[in-house]
Structure 1
Amino acid sequence: MLTFSLLVLVFLENEIHAEIFDNEMVTLRNDVSRLVNENKIMKAQLYDFQRMKSKMLEFERNLKGLNQTQTYILDDIEEFRSTQKRQSSSSEVIAFHAYLANSISSLGYHHPITFETEMTNKGSAYNHYTGTFTVPETGIYVFTWTLVVKLTLCATELVLNNSIIGESYPDSEHDADNASATEIVIREAEVGDAVFVRAKSGCSSIRSDTVTRSSFSGWKL
């Protein structure tokens, strides 16, 4: 009887140990499963971190490239400003303004009008003896001339070499008052071109005195 009781106790103890073992195995499996899941999560996080690190490195490279490009642009701007400053300081102003000292009359057909009194002649390209402006530099020029007449009319032309590039026609033939006309021409001209004003027809007199001036001007843009 005692032996049977011992056997029962041993059996029960083994059952208890088996149940404990089973519980521990379940716990262990759960721990392993949890660790596997955590490992997957950590791998995913590590992958995301590596991608983020790669993007950060790429961003730093791009930022460095942008900074370098900005430096190049700033250098180019500074060089452009320096060039503009040098050109501005080295470019000579070309401009002239001359007028008739006195009224003139009896101008023949195609007779050049000599505006002999210089007020401005920057570049020394205007000849007050001939009334001709000789272009010193190729470029765009502005030419303007003003003529005043009284009791007459006077058709004139602005001539570049042999080409007519502008015309003026003040008319006071039937009016006791003065009549004046101002014309402006903007034209490209080349080195050596000659520009002057000449009478066209019916130009018997041009007024120029202390009250009013007939003049010829021009400048390079």
Structure 2
Amino acid sequence: MSLFKVILLTCVLSPMVTGHKSCSINAGLMKSIQYQLKLVEDNNGKCDCTGRVSEPGKVAFMAKNSDSLVNIPGKSAVVYNTVMTNLGNGYDKSTGIFTAPSNGVYNFSWTVVTHFGKYFFTYLALNGKLIARNYTGGRVGSEHISSTQKAVLEIKKGDKVFVKVQDDHIGQFMFGDSWSTFSGYKL
């Protein structure tokens, strides 16, 4: 047994012997410590702090624009090209489309930022059908303006959700550089 384990077990077991904590609390603590020690031993004493592991079945994504979008034709999908999170691998950064990996209730949100004198009409589409609209227009008062819209939808595996430019408008200008985002998660 390593010196570290002996010291750790002594620190944990001492309160148990002297009766300062209940046995059930210490038993749970002991199992947790044993589990952590096994993880360290299995990785040869190294901690992989970069690996992110999520529970199976969790679905969440967040994408943002790295570049500004200019004069995007009506009916076009808005492609948020930089993925920050993609649990469940439902979001496709090349198309801007989220494909539901499982049935459930999902929460979606998208933000658009434009500047004075420009506008960007969008809507959230479920399998191509309009669900909720969002208008961002910088005509009065401020140099830049943002708008955010949300929707909670009950969807099925394989359903496609994406942000589109309003059918009869041109998306004049949407700031990139992480100002405009699209996200969703399963409740």
Q: TM-score, normalized by length of structure 2?
A: 0.67
> Which amino acid is 2:176 matched to?
S
1:207 counterpart = 2:168: no
Distance 2:149 2:68 in 1: 19
Aligned to 2:32: none
Distance 2:67 2:140 in 1: 23
For the residue of structure 2 that corresponds to 1:114, the secondary structure is coil
**After the TM superposition, which segments of 4 or more aligned residues of structure 1 sit over 3 Å from their partners?**
none
Task: Tell which has more relative contact order, 1 or 2 (C-alpha 8 A, sep 6+).
Answer: 2
Aligned to 1:108: 73
129-138 or 193-202: which moved more?
193-202
Deviations 1:171-191 (A, max 9, x none): 103445111001110010001
Would the alpha carbon gap of residues 172 and 90 (structure 1) be closer, same or farther in structure 2, given more than 3 Å must change? closer
Aligned to 2:138: 172
Q: 1:120 aligns with which of 85, 93, 99?
A: 85
- 5+ residue gaps, structure 1: 1-88
Distance 1:137 1:197 in 2: 20
1:139 counterpart = 2:104: yes
For the residue of structure 2 that corresponds to 1:113, the secondary structure is coil
Task: Measure how far apart 1:142 and its partner are.
Answer: 0.3
Deviations 1:123-171 (A, max 9, x none): 1110000000001111100000000000211110100002111110011
Distance 2:55 2:85 in 1: 20
Task: Measure how far apart 1:92 and its partner are.
Answer: 1.9
Distance 1:90 1:109 in 2: 39
Deviations 1:103-138 (A, max 9, x none): 110110111111010000001110000000001111
Structure with the largest fraction of strand: 2
Root-mean-square deviation (CA), in Å? Answer: 1.5
Structure number, greater radius of gyration: 1
Aligned to 1:186: 152
Distance 2:171 2:92 in 1: 23
Task: Give the alignment of 1:8-47 within 5 angstroms.
Answer: none
Q: Identity over the aligned pairs, expressed in percent?
A: 33
Aligned to 2:163: 197
Deviations 1:66-108 (A, max 9, x none): xxxxxxxxxxxxxxxxxxxxxxx96421000000001110110
> Which amino acid is 1:112 matched to?
A
* Equivalent residues of 2:71, 2:170 under 8 A apart: no
1:95 counterpart = 2:63: no
> Which amino acid is 2:134 matched to?
S
For the residue of structure 2 that corresponds to 1:101, the secondary structure is coil
